[in-house]
Amino acid sequence: MINLTKYLLLLLLPALMSCVSRQGVAAAEEEWVSLFNGKDIEDWVVKIHHHDLGDNYGNTFRVEDGLLKVRYDQYKAFNDRFGHLYYKQPFSHYHLVVEYRFADKWREDAPSYTQLNSGIMFHSQDPKTMPREQDWPISVEYQLLAGLGDGKERPTGNMCSPGTEVIFNGEMDLRHCINSSSKTYAPEEWVRAELIVLGDSLITHIVNGDTVLQYTNPQIGGGVVNNYDPAMKQDGKLLSSGFIALQSEGQPIDFRKVEIRNLTK
């Protein structure tokens, strides 16, 4: 004879498991935090080369139609105004998701390499520590590229290293940029860029669901950055945390999603 209590539990088990599963999914979804609210950039800080912290010259970074846009239509001349939009707080261990597309015409008075080129800076120095004439932050860059229409491969999700170095394939790689294995995307395509950062250990780049690059031990070193405060460039110092920033360097670009999940727990 079947115990009535056990029988009722057996009947209720599928419903209980379904409830637990839904709660687990909801909890996982709640872990994601949107850094871009679709309305404004009040939680972000602008730093543009040749300008003081907080000066959003030419309304470079703006929110229109629910998109975070980088534009140069109010510039009289580009004049190497490389800019970055920093989220207000640093992060260490996290999973970042950014969805982007290139838009509008590249400024022809910007350096030629900036055409259909942008980036996500991470493990960046605090923008408050950057002098007015510092061009790039000491940081690691998740580089964003699109095809130039010339039939040549141009992967996105590469790693570039302004004032930093990384270990790639077990060795210190002194190249400024390391290409990923991603395919080439057209400028108008929305692309999902993911970055998994585990402090000063493993860094993973993902493009549209595919892992395209991994490296370790991000640290201060190398060149490219100019006019920095020497006290901030302690070569050999491992980078376990830092600020996240979206780049402006002459190519208009749209961002529709910037979300993060903390992995420190």
Same domain membership, residue 24 and residue 42? no
Same domain membership, residue 53 and residue 159? yes
22 conformational bin, left if phi > 0, alpha if psi -120 to 50, beta if neither: alpha
Residue 157 has pLDDT above 80, yes or no: yes
Point out the least confidently predicted range of 12-16, 64-68, 123-127, 236-240.
Answer: 12-16
For residue 16, name the pLDDT band (cuts at 50, 70, 90): very low
Same domain membership, residue 59 and residue 14? no
Same domain membership, residue 125 and residue 86? yes
Q: What is the pLDDT of residue 30?
A: 53
Domain coverage including residue 184: 35-262
Same domain membership, residue 64 and residue 29? no
Percent of all residues in the chain with a pLDDT value above 90, rounded to a whole number: 88
Q: What is the pLDDT of residue 11?
A: 42
Closest CA to 239 of 261, 265, 217, 213: 217
3-state secondary structure the chain: CCCHHHHHHHHHHHHHHHHHHHHHHHHHHHHEEECCCCCCCCCEEEEECCCCCCCCHHHCEEEECCEEEECCCCCCCCCCCCEEEEECCCECEEEEEEEEEECCCCCCCCCHHHCCEEEEEEEECCHHHCCCCCCCCCCEEEEEECCCCCCCCCCCCEEECCCEEEEECCEEECCCEECCCCCCCCCCCCEEEEEEEECCCEEEEEECCEEEEEEEEEEECCCCCCCCCHHHCCCCCECCCEEEEEEECCCCEEEEEEEEEECCC
Same domain membership, residue 113 and residue 169? yes
Which residues have a Cβ under 8 Å from the Cβ of 42 and sit 6 or more positions away?
A: none
Residue 133 has pLDDT above 60, yes or no: yes
Point out the least confidently predicted range of 102-106, 137-141, 191-195, 252-256.
Answer: 102-106
For residue 264, name the pLDDT band (cuts at 50, 70, 90): confident
For residue 265, name the pLDDT band (cuts at 50, 70, 90): low
Q: Please give the Cα distance from 26 to 97 (Å, whole number).
A: 18
Q: What is the pLDDT of residue 20?
A: 40
Same domain membership, residue 169 and residue 254? yes
- Amino acid identity for residue 214 in this structure: Q
pLDDT tens readout for residues 206-216: 999 999 999 99
Residue 127 has pLDDT above 90, yes or no: yes
Percent of all residues in the chain with a pLDDT value above 70, rounded to a whole number: 88
Same domain membership, residue 4 and residue 104? no
Same domain membership, residue 213 and residue 137? yes
Same domain membership, residue 76 and residue 10? no
